[in-house]
Amino acid sequence: MPELPEVETTLRGIRPHLEGRILKGVTVRESRLRWPVSDALYVLKDCPVIALRRRAKYLLIELEAGQVMIHLGMSGTLRVVEASLSLRKHDHVDLLLDSGKVLRFNDPRRFGSVLYQPAGEPHALLAALGPEPLGEDFDGDWLFARSRGRKVAVKSFIMDNATVVGVGNIYAQESLFLAGIHPSRAAGRISRERYQRLADSIRAVLAKAIEAGGTTLKDFTSADGQPGYFAQSLHVYGRAGQPCLQCGALLKGDRHGQRSTSYCPQCQR
């Protein structure tokens, strides 16, 4: 599933092609996505694209009267292509631009979404989200204060979008390894100092992944069709039973919230 670095990479890839352009209209070939394509998209016409930004894993295309919200789901991709380019299977939605190009949304599993929110208030899907991990509101003090009294495993705690957005399974495991924290440790039993290290680790891991273009596992490629290369830097994710790259101990595996977890029993306490 594309995580925050993959979505940020996609944003940076498509932004130069959309900002300052005119959205001429929207073509919907398949409306049955995770949520039905918003009816309001069918009537959009000649809308200036003011800006593009990201909130959690949502790509937001800002228009004067509202915003188009795109979520890549498990297998969604976006490409900027010539409008005349032959369609591929699962090309569900096109945003037509005055440049003669389209932003084309492809999603084999149809678990992504293309929605519209009128200006004035945030969409319900965005209203309860926690801080951005690369933003000024996120730090060790925030994690420490929010974790008090919590018995949930710290890995599940940092994967909760109300705690911090965009720290999915891959990056949670890598961040906990870098911070030296066992993923099963109760969130409420971690010190402020260790949470500061964890917050710093989350930032460092995500920044490195964005710089590398994300992590290619099965479906993700960036907006220009190129794969991400952060997979070459993974220390624990998917490596249970292999030697730790730091100490040589065999990595162990566990499950948290029905998601697999790899960790080092020596380096992570």
**Given pLDDT bands bounded at 50, 70 and 90, which one contains residue 228?**
very low
Q: pTM to 2 decimals?
A: 0.86
- Active-site residue, from 109, 203, 208, 259: 259
Concerning whether 259 is annotated as a catalytic residue, the answer is yes
Q: Are 203 and 145 in contact (CB under 8 A)?
A: no
pLDDT for position 222: 46
Express as a percent the part of the chain with pLDDT over 90. Answer: 81
Torsion angles phi and psi, residue 192, rounded to 5: -60, -40
- What is the Cα–Cα distance from 128 to 115, expressed in whole angstroms? 18
Structure token digits, residue 147: 């974790």
Concerning whether 269 is annotated as a catalytic residue, the answer is no
| Across 231-247, average pLDDT | 89
45 or 220, which is more confident?
45
Structure token digits, residue 184: 């099963």
DSSP 3-state of 58: strand
- What is the Cα–Cα distance from 30 to 37, expressed in whole angstroms? 8
For the stretch 183-208, pLDDT in tens is 999 999 999 999 999 999 999 999 99
Please return the burial class of 240, using the count of CB atoms within 10 Å of its CB with bins 0-12, 13-18 and 19+.
Answer: middle
Spell out the long-range contacts of 223-227 with Cβ–Cβ below 8 A and sequence spacing 24 or more: 223/9, 223/10, 223/13, 223/14, 223/77, 223/78, 223/79, 223/80, 224/13, 224/79, 225/79
Q: Are 56 and 40 in contact (CB under 8 A)?
A: no
Indicate whether 229 pLDDT > 50. Answer: no
- Active-site residue, from 54, 55, 57, 239: 57
Concerning whether 2 is annotated as a catalytic residue, the answer is yes
Torsion angles phi and psi, residue 253, rounded to 5: -120, 150
Express as a percent the part of the chain with pLDDT over 70. Answer: 92
- Active-site residue, from 2, 5, 133, 183: 2
pLDDT for position 221: 44
For residue 149, the Cα-to-chain-centroid distance in whole angstroms is: 28
Mean pLDDT lowest among 147-151, 165-169, 177-181:
165-169
Concerning whether 208 is annotated as a catalytic residue, the answer is no
For the stretch 69-126, pLDDT in tens is 999 998 999 999 999 999 999 999 999 999 999 999 999 999 999 999 999 888 999 9
pLDDT for position 249: 97
Angle (CA) 256 138 146, round 5°: 55
